[in-house]
Amino acid sequence: MTGFLALVSSLIWWVLFSSIGAVGPSVIAWIVLRWSEGAPVVFNRTYLACLIWSLFTLLISAAVAAHLGITRPPLTPLLANGTFRMSLALSMLVGVIALWRLIPRVDARRIRIGSACVVVAVVMAIGFGVVTTLAIA
C-alpha cells in the first residue's frame, strides 16, 4: 500500500511540476509564434502543446539523471553527459511535433513546421541559459 501511495504521489507531483513548468515556455512560444507566423495563434492550444512537451521532457530527463546518479546540484556533469544530450535532442523533436500538430492559427490553419522549430530553438536556448546560470552559481 505504501508503494502505491508513493507512486500516486509521484504522479501528482510530476503533473503539477510539468504544468507549472509549461507556463513560461508557452508564453515564449506564443510570442514567437505570433511573430513567426504573422498571425495570432490560440494560446490555450499553445499551453497544451507545451504541457505535453514539458511532461515528456521532465519524465525522460529525470529518468536519465536518476540512471546516471546525478540528482543534486551541481548539474554540470549532467549537462556534459552524452546520454542526457541525446534525451534533450529527443525532447526537442517531441516538442516540434507537439507544437506543429496541436497549435492552430486563428484562421484555422496549422502553423508551419519551421515555426515550430524556431519556437523549440528559442525555448531551449533560454532554458539552457537559465540552467547554466544556475549550475555555475
C-alpha 59, offset from chain centre:
10
Dihedral angle of Cα 104, 109, 113, 116, to the nearest 10 degrees = -30
Reported as a single tens digit per residue, the pLDDT across 54-82 is 999 989 999 999 999 988 877 778 888 99
Kindly provide the b/e burial profile for residues 101-124, where b requires at least 16 CB atoms within 10 angstroms of the residue's own CB: ebbebeeeeebeeebbbbbbebbb
Reported as a single tens digit per residue, the pLDDT across 109-134 is 889 999 999 999 999 999 888 877 87
Q: How far apart are CA 97 and CA 113, in angstroms?
A: 8
pLDDT confidence tier of residue 137, bands split at 50, 70 and 90: low
Mean pLDDT over each residue of the chain, to the nearest integer:
90
pLDDT value, residue 136 = 67
pLDDT value, residue 60 = 94
DSSP 81: -
Residues whose CB is less than 8 angstroms from the CB of residue 111 and which lie 6 or more positions away in sequence, other chains included:
33, 36, 37, 41, 99, 100, 103, 104, 105
Reported as a single tens digit per residue, the pLDDT across 83-100 is 999 999 999 999 999 999
Reported as a single tens digit per residue, the pLDDT across 8-27 is 998 999 899 889 989 999 99
Using alpha carbons, list the distances in angstroms from residue 74 to 15, 24, 71, 114. Answer: 25, 23, 9, 35
> For 37-47, what is the mean pLDDT?
92
Give me the count of residues in the chain. 137
Which pTM value belongs to this model?
0.87
Q: How far apart are CA 33 and CA 35, in angstroms?
A: 5
Decide if 83 contacts 90 (C-beta within 8 A).
no
pLDDT value, residue 46 = 95
> For 33-46, what is the mean pLDDT?
92
The answer, yes or no, to whether residue 135 has pLDDT greater than 70, is no
